Amino acid sequence: MTWHATALTLFPEMFPGSLGLSLAGRALREGRWRLDTVQIRDFAVDKHRTVDDTPCGGGAGMVLRPDVVDAACEAALAQGPGRPLVYLTPRGRLLDQALVRELATGPGAVLVCGRYEGLDQRVIEARGMREVSVGDYVLSGGEPAALLMLDACVRLLPGVMGGVDSAEEESFSASEAPLLEYPHYTKPAEWLGRTVPEVLLSGHHAAVARWRREQAEAATRERRPDLWARREPQRIAAAGLASGHAGTTD
């Protein structure tokens, strides 16, 4: 079954965008995944094709109407039922590799690209949308976030990437609490007075693996203490288990 994505948007011309290039674009042309768009404005109920209205309770900006968005969702799901509805919003759950893997192994997704102040909460609840954020910042709309999420998912689809090992070693790919990826080097061995670490030229595979693990751990401790804190209970448990085994005899 082809992995199927649909974007609900006021700007369908933003798709496929960068997804029409490189690995994702080739996979799209090969039919490894499918991308459709639904123009939210097509489901407006007045002659002016209005999709938003002022927020109840007052305040700045406009809010996308629940009836319009609900009709657009119905049309998108009719193209391929059984797919989760994902609303891209700064107030959602942070997108991570675990969620990307979950979505990539499913039938696809319907991505709702918000604009203005966002969606009426009632349609979010009525449709059981999964609210997802791509980071702690605010974009002008959900389309760039949808492109980002789709890129992360598509590259995990069967046959899209050539090197499975490469994907497994990337940042956030570990099944345990993730580590940032180790630094990479290539030829020439010396450039502008900077040299490739000797261990990477040694041919000693165990030493290379150990160095890479140490570098990944150091980068994670320094740059993402939140991720490192998630690893500590695992490290303590592993150390205790190793100690217990060491002191046990049959």
Query: Any bridge partners for residue 86, and if so which?
Result: 111, 130
Name the 3-class secondary structure at 116. coil
134 marked ligand binding residue: yes
110 marked ligand binding residue: no
Report the C-alpha gap between 84 and 16 in whole angstroms. Answer: 20
User: 167-175: which pairs have CB atoms within 8 A and are 24 or more residues apart?
Assistant: 172/96, 172/97, 173/97
Do β-strands 3-9 and 108-113 pair in parallel, antiparallel, or remain unpaired?
parallel
For the chain, counts of helices (H) and of strands (E) = 8, 9
Query: Any bridge partners for residue 195, and if so which?
Result: 190
Collect all residues with Cβ–Cβ distance below 8 Å to 154 and sequence separation of at least 6: 3, 19, 23, 24, 27, 28, 32, 33, 104, 160
185 marked ligand binding residue: no
58 marked ligand binding residue: no
User: Residue 246 is encoded by which pair of tokens?
Assistant: 């060491």
96 marked ligand binding residue: no
Binding residues for S-adenosyl-L-methionine: 114, 134-139
Binding residues: 114, 134-139
